[in-house]
């Protein structure tokens, strides 16, 4: 059964399922405009997800064929996956921040073997054991979602109003979860007159009960030294100052008190960085650090794919500590180890 929630003021949400994922679903928002409905995110590219999206649009009194535009908060497949099908059905434009569009373009152009070779080398350099790396050397036995995502045809420009006739939707660049993640500020009086400045479609940047994954951006063809955790923390503070009346996230449920949630997340990451520094009293590879970090379950129970994600998150925290001068690479170590400075 498709679940549609009316948030008032010409905004509704649909729960579009994510197959075999503990998140369960993506909240796809349907925003009425003078030119027809606009979607904020679309959900995972899967037949069941598409059917759910189509049923939800029917329940909203519209259809995929009537969609005017698609605004994507970030390139991940549970957000951008169905964009191409929506565009095929309607001729809708697709808008995304240029940094994430660049990722989409490279994803479309890179052969899967290139990705597996890159990940194998990256994990080996991080100190991963051979039994973890070995499956990546046999790419034909594994498939990856989102290898041919739709190429957006419009750029989301930070600070500018999007072209949504009859609405005021402003883009806020919030890198961290991805390099081009955006939140979208609906600069209109809250329909229930809640105190604050409009409503914020927050994507994965600000969620009510979970912390988004912040890892090093995985891109075989981009050697830029990034600091995604630093970017994320800066972006959080920017959103906190915005003081929206209500946050409409892409997962879980809407909530108020964005500033309070921002404070919780800033405190969480500072505590985590402090805990990692304590672990770095001895030199550790990123893999060894990930093994010792606190997760939502013991390391032995974390499945294969999630371990790779955990190592990426450990590396993002290490990158932040190094940039702050609180940790440093141990000269001559191979694979490289890090220790508190």
Over residues 221-280, the pLDDT tens digits come to 777 788 999 999 999 999 999 999 999 999 999 999 999 999 999 999 999 999 999 999
Rounded Cα distance between 242 and 205, Å, is: 14
Tell me which of 16 and 305 has the higher pLDDT: 16
- Which of these, 37, 35, 51, lies nearest to 85 by C-alpha position? 51
Question: Residue 108 pLDDT > 80, yes or no?
Answer: yes
Q: Calculate mean pLDDT across residues 49-56.
A: 96
Return phi, psi of residue 328, to 5°.
-155, 155
Q: Is the pLDDT of residue 143 over 60?
A: no
Q: What pLDDT is stored for residue 142 in this prediction?
A: 47
Sign of the Cα torsion 76, 78, 83, 88 reads positive
Contacts of 231 (CB under 8 A, 6+ apart): 175, 176, 179
- The C-alpha atoms of residue 341 and residue 330 are separated, in whole angstroms, by 10
The structural domains of the chain, ordered by start, are: 4-106+149-264 (3.60.15.10)
Q: What local confidence, expressed as pLDDT, does residue 141 receive?
A: 46
Q: What would the pLDDT profile of 174-215 be if each residue is shown by its tens digit?
A: 999 999 999 999 999 999 999 999 999 999 999 999 999 999
Whether residue 169 contacts residue 186, with contact meaning beta carbons closer than 8 Å, is answered with yes
Segment 297-313 shows an average pLDDT of 94
Residues present in the chain in total: 341
Q: Which residues pair with 255 in a beta bridge?
A: 247
Residue burial 109-120, b: 16+ Cβ < 10 Å; e: rest? eeeeeebbebbb
Q: State the residue for tokens 């908060």.
A: 73
- Give the Cα separation of 340 and 107 in Å (integer): 36
77-102 mean pLDDT: 97
Q: Is the pTM of this model over 0.75?
A: yes
Which tokens go with 233?
A: 């923390």
**Quick one: pLDDT band at residue 145, thresholds 50, 70, 90?**
low
Cα(41)–Cα(20) distance, integer angstroms: 19
Instruction: Give the separation between CA 143 and CA 147, rounded to whole angstroms.
Output: 9
Tokens of 83: 């964009």
């Amino acid at each position: 059964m498709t679940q549609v929630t009316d948030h008032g003021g010409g905004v509704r949400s649909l729960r579009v399922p994510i197959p075999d994922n503990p998140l369960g679903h993506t909240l796809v928002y349907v925003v009425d405009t003078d030119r027809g409905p606009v979607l904020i995110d679309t959900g995972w590219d899967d037949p069941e997800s598409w059917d759910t999206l189509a049923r939800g649009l029917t329940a909203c009194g519209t259809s995929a064929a009537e969609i005017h535009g698609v605004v994507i908060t970030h390139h991940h497949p549970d957000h951008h996956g169905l964009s191409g099908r929506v565009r095929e059905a309607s001729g809708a434009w697709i808008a995304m921040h240029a940094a994430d569009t660049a990722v989409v373009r490279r994803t479309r152009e890179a052969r899967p073997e290139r990705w597996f070779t890159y990940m194998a080398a990256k994990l080996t350099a991080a100190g991963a054991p051979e039994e973890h790396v070995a499956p990546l050397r046999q790419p034909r036995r594994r498939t990856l979602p989102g290898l041919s995502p739709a190429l957006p045809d419009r750029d989301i420009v930070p600070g500018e109003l999007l072209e949504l006739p009859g609405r005021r939707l402003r883009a806020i660049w919030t890198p961290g979860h991805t390099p081009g993640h955006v939140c979208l500020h609906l600069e209109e009086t809250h329909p229930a007159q809640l105190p604050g400045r409009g409503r914020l479609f927050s994507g994965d940047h600000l969620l009510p009960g979970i912390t988004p994954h912040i890892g090093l951006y995985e891109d075989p063809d981009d050697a830029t030294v990034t600091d995604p955790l630093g970017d994320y923390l800066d972006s959080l503070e920017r959103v906190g100052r915005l003081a929206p009346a209500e946050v409409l996230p892409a997962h879980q449920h809407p909530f108020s008190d964005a500033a309070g949630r921002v404070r919780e997340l800033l405190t969480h990451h500072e505590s985590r960085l402090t805990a990692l520094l304590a672990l770095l009293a001895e030199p550790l590879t990123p893999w060894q650090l990930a093994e010792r970090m606190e997760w939502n379950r013991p390391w032995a129970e974390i499945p294969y794919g999630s371990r790779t994600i955990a190592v990426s998150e450990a590396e993002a925290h290490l990158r932040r500590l190094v940039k702050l001068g609180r940790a440093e690479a141990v000269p001559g170590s191979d694979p490289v180890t890090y220790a508190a400075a």
